[in-house]
Structures are given as structure tokens and as C-alpha cells.
Structure 1
Amino acid sequence: MEPILEVRNLTCGYQRLPVFTGVNLTLYPGQLSGLVGPSGCGKSTLIKAILGLVRPWEGEIWFRGKQLKPGVAPPKVGYVPQVETVDWSFPVTAEEVVMMGCYQNQKILPWQSKRERNIARQLLNRVGIEHVAHQPIGNLSGGQQQRVFLARALVGEPDIVFLDEPTSSSDLQIQHELLHLLADLNQQGLSIFLSTHDLNSVATHLPWVICFNHGLICQGEPIDIFTSAILEKTFGTEMVVFHHQDRILIASSGTSLRHQMQHNLPAILRKTASKTK
């Protein structure tokens, strides 16, 4: 299968400080991939470099067999930014946010056409929130806001969508619903690449994982990649991996020890009390 995107020996940084060096990465059509690593390790910079928002110091980016010019976005690509970068007080409705995606097609007229409104409504329906079309974006829940921006990213019928930390600042139910929605879109043929530091959500929902920390550490299926040695190298701390039936649960060694102490504390107290008597 021909790759949809290739990153070749990519190096990026800000001012004179490198963020990552010599990154090589290949994505294929129909792939659902998660980029995992600690905060500040360069995940967002890698996505922005691929999208042409950050100019790389060195290296090449290829899209469907054609090399992209530095600072130029690939065609037919969608992007969902981090929620922290969005001004949720801006006075627009969910439908208007989705229609903003139409301006990527160099629209000239300043008003929306009936066709664009229909497209926006169809996409909101596709992500399951058509009923909030006319509500202000700031009044929506975190999960609904994420779905609005996902619908916006789908306006141009992209070949691949990039999501930067889509599950950050979300509770477990919202994370679960969003990742299931992404899996459904992937089953419909959409290639998806998302970054996150939430290991357990990735282990449960994503078939392909890329461990990253100022460079590529390892990649593969979660069952092969999520080992204590690889995760310690990725996150810089000792990690404990539990396998339960077909699920993988991950915790730091300190967290695991605290849970074990809490679980055993009643028995320890009973033994102490008996010895006192």
C-alpha cells in the first residue's frame, strides 16, 4: 500500500533550541494512529510541521508521493486543535464554526450559501450533535465543542484528520464517546492521527501507537508497544502495565504502590490492633 504521508529525517525547533531531531514516520490510508508522549515532548510541533504551521529546520514531508514545500499544508487534510487554543467566548454558533471550514476553499463571498448551511448541518448530524447547530459555541459541553471542531475539520472531505490532544481536559465518558466516534469515522475510510498523553484510552481504542519524546521511540500495536521498558523510555518514569483479558491498564509505579497500600490498609490496621491487644 502506498503511504498517505511520509516524514523523512525531520528536525524542528524554536529560536535556537531543537524540539526533536531526525524523525521518520510513515502513515497509510485508513490508519487510526495515536501519538503518545509526555507534555512538552514535541507532539504538537510535529503535527504543526506536517500541517505547514511550523517550518522544519531539516527534513522532508511527502503527501501521496509528492514532496511538500516547507510551510505548505498538504491538500485534503483536516485539523482539530487543542481546546486550550480556542476562544470559546467568541460569539458564533456551532453551525457557523463548521461553516468556517468552507473558507479554506478560498471562498470570495462574505456570506454563507444555502448549500454550505446544508453541509454544516449534515456534518453536525454525522458527529451526532445536529440539535446544537444554533447554540453559541461557548454554551456547549466539552464533548460537544470537540465534535463541532471535528465536523469543521470534515468540511473539505479530507483524506486524513489530525487531532491535537482531543481528550485533554475531558472526563472519562467524553473521552470514551469521542474515541468511539473516531473509530466509527475510521471504519468509514477516514485516516486519523491524534496526539495524547492518555495511555489507557489509547490502549483501549487505538490499533496503532507511536511513542514519542523529542523523537520517535517506538511504534506498533498496543499489545507490543505498551511494555514497562518502552513506556519508561517514553515518559521518563517507571510504569506498570497490567493485562486483564483483552485490556491493557497502565499506571506509574508510584500510583500503583499507593493503590496497593490503600487496598491492603484495612488488613494492616487489623494486624496492628491485634498485636496491641
Structure 2
Amino acid sequence: MPTIQVDDVVVRYGEVLALDGVSLRVRPGRVTGLIGMNGSGKSTLFKTVMGMVRPDRGRVLLDGAEPAAARRRGLVGYVPQSEEVDWAFPVSVRDVVMMGRYGRQGLTRRPRPADHAAVADALGRVELADYADRQIGQLSGGQRKRAFVARGIAQDARMLLLDEPFAGVDKRSEATIVRLLRELADDGRTVLVSTHDLHALPRLADEAALLLRRVLFHGEVSEALRPENLARTFGLDAVDGSVPDGGESGADQPDVGGPADDVLPDAPASREEESA
């Protein structure tokens, strides 16, 4: 059975329909890119999969378990958008990565040698070993994203969800994150990534799902990037980048160039039933 299973999920925020009958299967050993403009429901879908938002209809199963049970077992890791994190909180980069080991430490949350070793290995893999003692908010945008990827690696999560991990990152961090996600998929893990960066998609993902409150397409990346599919998803001509309905240039368009350094995306609408 698929590792991540979403069946006919509907989510409403009052009168606003955020997800309208979303169904999706994400298999292990593959990277799946989730593509859609701002407000298409990507963050809501991620939080529903994580059990942070309760659907009005439908169900989510992670390796056959309810999201809350999967989280308690440490099966799923989550890299949120930058604005969802309090960067002023007085924790070091090492502390953030060690949070991925909490589920293995019992009630005392006292790190053991195996925990320290896992954290050191994860920091090395994301090239942040030299920054381990820095306060997390002192890092650049790309380094912050890499720290949260390291948390998922240290956790040994079998499923990893990343919400816009390339927003506001430099090219080095983008390349590092892409390499790590490919390695994790090759190790048999399930990776779901939302992104606006369509140029990075072919080297990042094995398949893509196009979302506009419901899944419009799910299949090979080359098919997802066909102009007619992008036009359905973004409501614009993806070839010439025109903006429909008098919209502001760049407001809800796919990113067909490189990401800017250290620029945070706009805050998405969200309804959280419980903290992450």
C-alpha cells in the first residue's frame, strides 16, 4: 500500500473551501513534487497530512496509521515554511536537530550517545557542522531550511514533507537539499515537496502532483510541465508568463527562474487543530 494515502479530503476555513475532494497516493522510494500557486491549498494539504488540520471530510493514512499515531511513532518529519517558525527562540542549531530525536528519548528527553551521534551525522550531511552552536535565527534562509532537513534525517523519519524548502534559499542550499532528498528517496523513504521552482523540478522529483484545491494531475514530471497542465494549475499561460485577471506580476506565478536569497514567502492561510 502507498506510504501516504489521502482519500477525498475536504477542508474548509469558514466559507472558504481550501481543499475540495483531494485524493493522492505518494509511494516510498520516490520524490513527489507538489505544484500550485499561492492559495492553492498546498500548505493546508501538508498540515492535514501531518494531522495539524482536521479535514471536514475524507481521511489520511500514513503507512496505514492515522497521522497522530504516525507522528508519535516518529514515522513522519515536517519542514515548515519559514514564517511558521519563531526564529528568535533561544535554541541552537544542534538543539533544533536534536528535537528530531525526542521520540526516542522517553519522558526525560535526555540525549544518549546514539542521539548525539545521529545529530552529528545529520549536521554533517547538510553541511552545518560548523554552525551547530549558533542560535537558529542567526542562520541564513538556506541554512535554516537545511537545519530542519537535518532534524528529519536525525529523526530517521520514513516520510518527509517539505513545504516550499527552496523559498528564500541560496543556490548552494538548494543544491544541497535536492541532493539530500534524492539520497533519502534512494534509501526507500517517501518525500513530498511543495515548490514553485519549476526549473528545479526535473532534477528533484520523480513525479509531480498539480494542485488547485483538488489534484488536477499526478504523474510524470515531463507531463506535469506541459503548458496546458500548467495553465490549468496557475490560471495563466505558463509559456509567456502572462498574468490573468489583471493580477500583479509575479503574485501567483510559477517560479521559472532561480530563487532569491533570504526572501521569505507570504504567509499562507491555515487552521491548526494542534501544534506541530
TM-score by length of 2: 0.80
Give the equivalent residue in structure 2 for 1:141.
140
Give the equivalent residue in structure 2 for 1:21.
20
Q: What's the secondary structure of 1:238's corresponding residue?
A: coil
Change (3 A) 1:67 1:60: farther
Give the equivalent residue in structure 1 for 2:221.
222
Give the equivalent residue in structure 2 for 1:54.
53
Deviation of the 1:217 alpha carbon? 0.7
Deviation of the 1:189 alpha carbon? 2.4
Rounded Cα–Cα distance in structure 2 between residues aligned with 1:170 and 1:177: 11
Give the equivalent residue in structure 2 for 1:152.
151
The 8 Å contact of residues 52 and 73 in structure 1, kept in 2 or not, is answered as no
Give the equivalent residue in structure 1 for 2:30.
31
Give the equivalent residue in structure 2 for 1:244.
none
Identity of aligned residues (%): 33
Q: What's the secondary structure of 1:198's corresponding residue?
A: coil
Q: Does 1:68 align with 2:66?
A: yes
Deviation of the 1:190 alpha carbon? 2.2
Deviation of the 1:129 alpha carbon? 2.0
Structure 2 gap ranges (5+):
244-248, 250-276
Letter in 2 for 1:145: R
Measured against aligned partners, the alpha-carbon deviations of 1:3-23 in whole angstroms (never above 9, x if no partner) come to 112111111121232201111
Q: Which is greater in Rg?
A: 1
Higher helix fraction (1 or 2)? 1
Change (3 A) 1:157 1:146: same
Deviation of the 1:73 alpha carbon? 4.7
Change (3 A) 1:18 1:105: farther
Deviation of the 1:209 alpha carbon? 0.7
Change (3 A) 1:63 1:111: closer
Change (3 A) 1:128 1:80: same
Rounded Cα–Cα distance in structure 2 between residues aligned with 1:176 and 1:100: 25
Q: How many corresponding residue pairs?
A: 242
The 8 Å contact of residues 95 and 117 in structure 1, kept in 2 or not, is answered as no
Larger RCO, structure (CA 8 Å, separation 6 or more): 2
The 8 Å contact of residues 52 and 72 in structure 1, kept in 2 or not, is answered as no
> What's the RMSD between the two structures over aligned residues?
2.1
Give the equivalent residue in structure 2 for 1:168.
167
- Which of 212, 229, 241 matches 1:252? 241
Alignment of 1:1-277 (within 5 A): 2-64=1-63, 66=64, 68=66, 73-74=70-71, 75=73, 76-105=75-104, 107-109=106-108, 111-240=110-239, 252-253=241-242
Rounded Cα–Cα distance in structure 2 between residues aligned with 1:97 and 1:110: 13
